[in-house]
Structure 1
Amino acid sequence: MHSFVYLFLSALLIFSASAANLYQQDESEFAATEEDKSQFDAMESEVEEQDQEQTQAMTQMEAFYNMIPKVQEPSGSQDLSNIQATVAESIMTHQFSVGRAVEVRYITPNNGRPTMDLYDAHGNILLHVNPRWDTRVLVLNTYYNKRWGHEERPRGFDFSSGVPITVRVEAHHSHFIILVNGRILHAYRHRLNINTLRNIVFWWAGSSAKPAKLINLSAYY
């Protein structure tokens, strides 16, 4: 009788120990599952924040595009006032300063005006680089407070069609230096604070059967 009771109690203790061990394992697995869920929630929240930031950035860029002014045509040139500007490419930049540069490379057209504009956050244009294949003139200007300034028209720009061209603008202390295919073409004195530069836009003005083909638009720091 005593042996039976002893065996029964021993079996009961072994069963209790096994049950406790299983409970601890289940509890550990449950804790791990809760930890995984917490990490998943954190990742999901991060993705939602990134989506919100991207949506906000897209909204800001759409609003910025609406601020792009129409190019004022000089007397005697082709009237393009009824043609809407089309943004081909744009990049945002911050902390622009002396020693930095922006550059556009494209295949030249046979007509029209492939233009690079350097904008601040308020729609002012620090530098308007506007080669005009219709009149064979390179026009440089600044757009401030909804008005264009005095045009500068340097000579020596190559108006060949169907060839690659690189237009580079380097920021110096008092001037923008404009280089075309590595050759210095003009020094344009700063009219606005270059540190306010926020957007570089390459767009197409004018109609043509063979418009400029953008290769690359870059900012260098």
Structure 2
Amino acid sequence: MIIALTGQKGGIGKSTTAVSLAVAALASGRRVLLVDADPQGTVRTWGDVAAEAGHDTPTVMAMGASMHKPGQLPEVAAAYDLTIIDCPPRHGEIARSALMVADIAVYPCGPTAADAWALTAALEVFREAAALRSALKGCILITRKQGRTALGKSARAVLETSGLPVLSTELGYRIAYQESLACGQGVTGYAPRDAAAREITHLLEELEKLHHGQKASRGLATKAAVA
């Protein structure tokens, strides 16, 4: 499974979510590749901190707008159970490249209507890619949510009109996410009893179910074609 965390807006938790998902999957025994496609290099810096601290880490690799080309990410990812791509904001050519190889595109979005409106341009890029790759799935992940606020409910209502499913898992605005990243860990290892750890575990499970459903749909389509 290849997951691309992407979107036009910065500061919504793409890198933190990518790292936490990768670490949670690694702890469950999976072979995990974490691709830093952001020139800012947050994931690579995290990897250096984690290595210095002696923590187990997924394989971390930098790639850019050519990752979809022959001999690049598709061949490398074949050796891993899970590949997670951390895409940068406002770099359409890198996002397009990631969408050419991903099974699932995840669009993190903050908990306000303004955050939801900012997704418009990113979803246009997704639709272009989906027109070329019918197997590509997309979904929206609400991040940085603060409690049971009316603001969060209004954002979900706006997002549900986007044409992409909004994941039931929501990531709260929790200090454990920032602290774990600074320590070179994922939140499930840093604070396993924290609500943030449960959120990441549920998110990984939800994405796996989405992927398995995707594969099952492909299989049914193949059988129908043969018939």
- Global fold match (TM > 0.5): no
Greater fraction helix: 2
Greater fraction strand: 1
Give the TM-score band, short-chain normalised: under 0.3
- Give TM-score scaled by structure 1 length: 0.24
- Give TM-score scaled by structure 2 length: 0.24
